[in-house]
Structure 1
Amino acid sequence: MLNINKIHHVAIICSDYEVSKQFYTQIMGFTILAEYYRKERDSYKLDLAVNENYAIELFSFPFPPTRISRPEAAGLRHLAFEVNDIDTTLEWLNKNQISAEPVRIDQFTGKRFTFISDPDGLPIEFYEK
Structure 2
Amino acid sequence: MFLQAVHHIAIICSDYTRSKTFYTDVLGLQVIREVYREERDSWKLDLALGNQYIIELFSFPEPPPRASRPESCGLRHLAFAVANIEAAAQQLLLKGVETEPIRIDPHTNQRFTFFTDPDGLPLELYETHP
Same fold (TM over 0.5): yes
Runs of 4+ in 1 over 3 A off after TM superposition: none
Q: Return the offset for 1:35.
A: 0.1
Partner of 2:75: 76
Q: Counterpart of 1:94 in 2: which secondary structure?
A: helix
User: Quick check: 1:86–1:112 contact (8 Å CA) kept in 2?
Assistant: yes
Map Cα deviations across residues 66-92 of structure 1 (whole Å, 9 max, x no partner).
001114111100000100000110110
Q: Which residue of 1 aligns with 2:25?
A: 26
Name the amino acid aligned to 2:115.
I
Query: 1:2-37 CA distances to partner (integer Å, 9 max, x unpaired)?
Result: 410000000000000000000000011000000000
The total of aligned residue pairs comes to: 128
Q: Structure 2 length normalisation: TM-score? A: 0.97
Amino acid at match of 1:14: C
Quote the Cα distance in structure 2 between the aligned partners of 1:73 and 1:50: 27
Q: Is the 8 A contact 1:31 1:52 kept in 2?
A: no
Matched residues, percent identical? 55
DSSP-derived class of the 1:108 partner? coil
Unaligned runs of 5+ in 2: none
Deviations 1:49-70 (A, max 9, x none): 0112111000000000000111
* Distance in 1 of aligned mates of 2:74 and 2:60: 20
> Which consecutive unaligned segments of at least 5 residues does structure 1 have?
none
Aligned-residue CA RMSD in angstroms? Answer: 0.7
